Amino acid sequence: MRRSVYNEDHEAFRETVRAFIEAEVVPVYDEWCAAGQAPRDFYGKLGELGIFGIEVPEEYGGSGQKSFKWQAVITEETARAGVSFGGSGVHVALCLPYLLAYGSEEQKKRWLPGFASGATMYAIAMTEPGTGSDLAGMRTTAKLSEDGTHYVLNGAKTFITGGVHADRVIVCARTAAPTEQDRRHGISLFVVDTTLPGYAVGRKLDKLGLRASDTAELSFSDVRVPAGDLLGEENKGFSYLGQNLPQERLAIAVGAYAQAAAAIRFTQAYVAERVVFGQPVASFQNTKFELAACKAETDAAEAVVDRALQAHDAGELTAAEAASAKLFCTEVAHRVIDKCLQLHGGYGYMNEYPIARLYADNRVNRIYGGTSEVMKSIIAKSMGL
Ligand SMILES: Cc1cc2nc3c(=O)[nH]c(=O)nc-3n(C[C@H](O)[C@H](O)[C@H](O)COP(=O)(O)OP(=O)(O)OC[C@H]3O[C@@H](n4cnc5c(N)ncnc54)[C@H](O)[C@@H]3O)c2cc1C
């Protein structure tokens, strides 16, 4: 079926991104994986290419587009090539919506030009060592000073994508205790300058997959965050997270779908070449049936992604619909990539084959941005269950 979600401009942009990935990322990607991160100057290149500024309004140095489809094209193309842009997906897909929606005019002027150029990289820190799925249980605190000029930030975060390179991190912290009626009350968001005294980057975590993305532990010890770096209103942070998590989940759904499609492509090429019992693996009926079933599932995921992208651009994607798209696409990708790896035999288990990297990279899609179980809870709640 022809996809109608993208227009000619998107397809031209796709060609540019594909050529850029082939020239600038594929040849050095193994080095990035070995180093556990993309080099910092690569983000300057993405800035120069205009990739960070696509949705940044023109007055702050961007191109002022109001569609998530451009980011979806980039996500599809990186997945297609079996690579990533390091931790920078979080910079655009997760952090920018917060800055745009809740930043004051003064903050936007201060932050967005550096955001668009890649001079200032952003990350977002919600998860803590003691709490991930249950975000209302977070313990990091931010206490307003008596003179009202700054907040004193204390606590720790973990699993923060882009946490090593980040120049500013959107930190979720408690500014007030939860109330009896509402455990979510009292959380605020701060755009914290990572050079402030007391701010520390801990371990860069050693992960199963996504090896070119820097995932870090962070700690805050009496960090004096200027009051002017509070994002939006005090104590409203949880509702801001609720507004923006659907886009994060859509981004993960798009990536998972594209990884499944990439797995089929890599596998079709492999089974055509590999000869077993005197015939190509592609000639066995089992191979044809497995790949056909993978294709049918991936086509269904594509349809879900396309509908969700349209709904999101129209401002209509609900939290439950985003959860449903993430759940479906990530579970499909999990099944498809596993079957495709099986068709590679032992070579599929070797890191030099792209299917092995896809297998490892894909696994986290069912965990981060909210686990599959949390997605089911959100969907069930929307059904009145
Ligand atoms: C590579 C990577 C990158 C990440 N990047 C970021 C980032 O940039 N910023 C950030 O803030 N976080 C990030 N995370 C954190 C991620 O969002 C959390 O890991 C995720 O939300 C799950 O939280 P947890 O790890 O604490 O698991 P837990 O909450 O401890 O969950 C453990 C298990 O319990 C299950 N469970 C939890 N609640 C329920 C329930 N109500 N019913 C049934 N089962 C339940 C879960 O589904 C899971 O199977 C990242 C994680 C990884 C692995």
State whether 261 and 354 are in the same domain.
yes
Q: For ligand 1, atom 27, which residue shows the shortest CA distance? A: 132
Which atom of ligand 1 lies nearest, measured to the CA of 126? 11
In the numeric block, the tokens 């299917």 are attached to 355
Residue 316 sits in the same domain as residue 350: yes
Which domain range does residue 99 map to?
8-117
| Nearest CA owner, ligand 1 atom 7 | 160
Q: Which ligand 1 atom minimizes the distance to the CA of 207?
A: 1
265 and 312 assigned to the same domain = yes
Radius of gyration of the chain (CA): 21
Per the domain annotation, does 1 fall within a domain? no
Strand, coil or helix: 174: strand
CA of 123 to the centre of ligand 1 (A): 17
- Which residue has a Cα nearest atom 23 of ligand 1? 132
Tokens in use for 385? 């269950």
pLDDT recorded at residue 108:
98
Q: What is the residue whose two structure tokens read 């920018």?
A: 96
The preferred substitution site among 367, 376, 377 for testing ligand 1, maximizing ligand atoms within 8 Å of CB, is 367
- The reply to whether 197 and 126 lie within a common domain is yes
Cβ(126) – ligand 1 distance below 6 Å: yes
The CATH number assigned to the domain holding 81 equals 1.10.540.10
Q: Does residue 207 come out as left (phi exceeding 0), alpha (psi in the -120 to 50 range) or beta?
A: beta
pLDDT at 344: 98
Distance CA(361)–CA(353), nearest Å, equals 13
Answer whether 215 contacts ligand 1 (Cβ < 6 A).
Answer: yes
Ligand 1 centroid, distance to 370 Cα (angstroms) = 6
Count of all residues that appear for the chain in the document:
385
Q: How far is the CA of 127 from the centre of ligand 1 (A)?
A: 8
Report the candidate in 167, 170, 173 with the shortest Cα–Cα distance to residue 155: 173
Q: What is the mean pLDDT of each run of 10 residues along the chain (385 residues)?
A: 94 97 96 96 95 97 96 96 93 96 98 98 97 94 98 98 97 96 96 98 96 96 98 97 94 98 98 98 98 98 98 97 98 98 98 95 97 98 98
The total number of structural domains that make up the chain? 3
Same domain as 127, residue 19 = no
The predicted pLDDT at position 1 comes to 82
Q: Are residues 187 and 256 in the same domain?
A: no
Q: Is the beta carbon of 124 within 6 A of some atom in ligand 1?
A: yes
pLDDT at 384: 98
Query: Do the domain assignments include residue 2?
Result: no
Q: What is the pLDDT of residue 2?
A: 87
A 10 A CB-CB count for 222 gives: 11
Atom of ligand 1 nearest to the CA of 213: 1
The three-class DSSP label of residue 260 is helix
Which residues are tagged catalytic? Answer: 248
Output the pLDDT for position 329: 98
